Amino acid sequence: MFGLMVRFTCKDPESAQAFDRLTETTINKIRDGEPGTLVYAAHCVDGHPLQRIFYELYHDRAAFDAHEEQPHTRHFLSAREELLTSVEVDWLELHAGKGTTA
């Protein structure tokens, strides 16, 4: 299993709304066409209206690499740039959990 957590900070409330629309469109395509993507969850952060956190779990590194090559992912990666002030990525190694293979 391969995972990551990403924290996005949007430029302003309008950018946050546009980012959320972009996210919804992208997640619909992930849901329909990426069997190796096990969890792809977008969260708003309580008390921080311009921040979003994505939690992503993939079957393995190959599934993540396949996700990164999808046209909808490439569109998301380029379109998000004008909406954000920062992106922070934490790569995760599963130690233990419920609903996982560990």
pLDDT score, position 99: 80
Compute the distance between CA of residue 21 and CA of residue 5 in angstroms, rounded to an integer: 20
Compute the distance between CA of residue 80 and CA of residue 15 in angstroms, rounded to an integer: 9
Of 95 and 52, which is predicted with more confidence? 52
Of the pLDDT bands very low, low, confident and very high (cuts 50, 70, 90), residue 83 is: very high
Question: How many other C-beta atoms lie within 10 A of the C-beta of residue 44?
Answer: 13
Residue 43 has pLDDT above 60, yes or no: yes
pLDDT score, position 101: 66
Fold of 2-92: Alpha-Beta Plaits (3.30.70)
pTM value is: 0.92
Contact indicator for 68, 75 with CB cutoff of 8 Å: no
pLDDT score, position 102: 57
Domain positions in the chain are: 2-92
